[in-house]
Amino acid sequence: GSTTSTTSVDDHPTPKHGDHDDKSKSLDLEVAEGWSFLLESTKEYDQKQLEGWRDDLNNLLVFAGLFSAVVTAYTIESYQWLQADSGDQTVQLLTQISSQL
């Protein structure tokens, strides 16, 4: 007696190719769900940010329009005040002075 111990490949458990694929698919699904969550969170944050900016811009445009209207009205009135005198008053005063001499 000599006993020879032979072990076959079947005696040792080897990972099945299908098990690895299932774990990999599960991990890929978790990663995809994580990215989807981050994407949705980012979209929601960006949407709120854009709505805030849009509201601010609308307010600025209303203010700019009103300011422009007021400045235009003031400029038109001021322009009339700044026009040169037609000389009527000057002629009248000179006539009065010359008649007194």
The whole-number mean pLDDT for each consecutive block of 10 residues of the chain, a chain of 101 residues, reads 52 55 81 92 97 97 97 90 74 89 81
Token pair in block for residue 98: 């010359």
pLDDT score for 83: 66
pLDDT for the residue 91: 85
pTM of the model: 0.46
H helices present in 2-87, as ranges: 17-82
Residues in the chain: 101
